[in-house]
Amino acid sequence: MERREITLHGHRVTYTEAGAGPGRPLVLLLHGIAGSGRTWDSVAPALAETAHVLAPDLLGHGESAKPRGDYSLGAYASGVRDLLTALGHESATVVGHSLGGGVAMQFAYQFPERCDRLVLVSSGGLGREVTPVLRAVTLPGAEWVLPVIAHRRVLDGLRAAGSALSRLPVPAKPALREIARGYASLVDTEARAAFVHTVRSVIDVGGQRVDASDRLYLAQTLPTLVVWGGRDSFIPAAHAAHFAALVPTARVEVFERAGHFPHVDEPVRFAAVLRDFLATTEPARLGADDFRDRLVSGV
């Protein structure tokens, strides 16, 4: 795997690339809020054995730029389109975790001709329920509280505690380390601002405010895989069943022992499921005429 960067609209976009080669299907991996492309590090090598893998840091996250600007799902989807175009790719199988799942669905909706397959991993955008931690970020004044709870001294203390825990007979779960890495990113002032803007674009105090359910009929002919952790405490696994009811053609896999990061909790299984999905489905892009007919008929 190699870390690369490109400049788009004057802003740095950093991404991980692996498995490049002619004739290979392109798999685009989109991370969740406060995450980065590195969340896929444990599964990317296995996927790269048969596919060309791209895992970008979305704007406002990771090593990518964190400008003042639009952090809506539509803006992220357009940014993904621009990244693919700049790198010379016509289309991709789009895999999205949490916030990235909402971006993936928005991408499939805005640019159906560029989406070969859709994979949702503990995805946002499928129901109202979401962890109270993120709902709290939408409250007035949250931007003044975050600098206190994400202060470097607090993080240093947590790192010291984490170092002590790592010496115990049972080490911390990988997903906990992933959450800690996202929390640590909020030390940066620009990252905190981007985090707050992103959360408030999709969540309010009552829960998720963006719901793709009324447009999922457009995905009936798009090969779709849904993966969820049965112990997800951020977004309930019931949302996977809700998606399956609206899109009966979708394949649904629930990792009963996993939490909100099934690709981190069970990377071997996740990679095997995704590789099987790629091998047993054909890319299916919706043409302009088909898209118009579906919009008019509503089915």
Residue type, 275: R
Report the SS3 class of residue 228: strand
Rounded CA separation 290/299 (Å): 11
- Extract the tokens encoding 52: 């060309």
* Catalytic choice (232, 239, 263, 265): 232
* Catalytic choice (116, 260, 263, 265): 260
* Catalytic choice (42, 72, 98, 123): 98
Rounded CA separation 155/170 (Å): 22
- Extract the tokens encoding 75: 């803006």
Determine if residue 19 is left, alpha or beta; phi over 0 gives left, psi from -120 to 50 gives alpha, anything else beta: left
229 near 236, Cβ under 8 Å?
no
Report the SS3 class of residue 136: helix
Q: What angle do CA 153, 158, 163 make, to 5 degrees?
A: 125
> Is 260 labeled as catalytic in the residue annotation?
yes
List of long-range contacts for 146-153, beta carbons under 8 Å, 24+ apart? 146/186, 146/192, 146/195, 146/196, 147/189, 147/192, 150/183, 150/186, 150/187, 150/192, 151/187, 152/187
> Is 89 labeled as catalytic in the residue annotation?
no
> Is 232 labeled as catalytic in the residue annotation?
yes
What would you report as the CA-atom Rg of the chain, rounded to the nearest whole angstrom? 19
Return the active site residues. Answer: 98, 232, 260
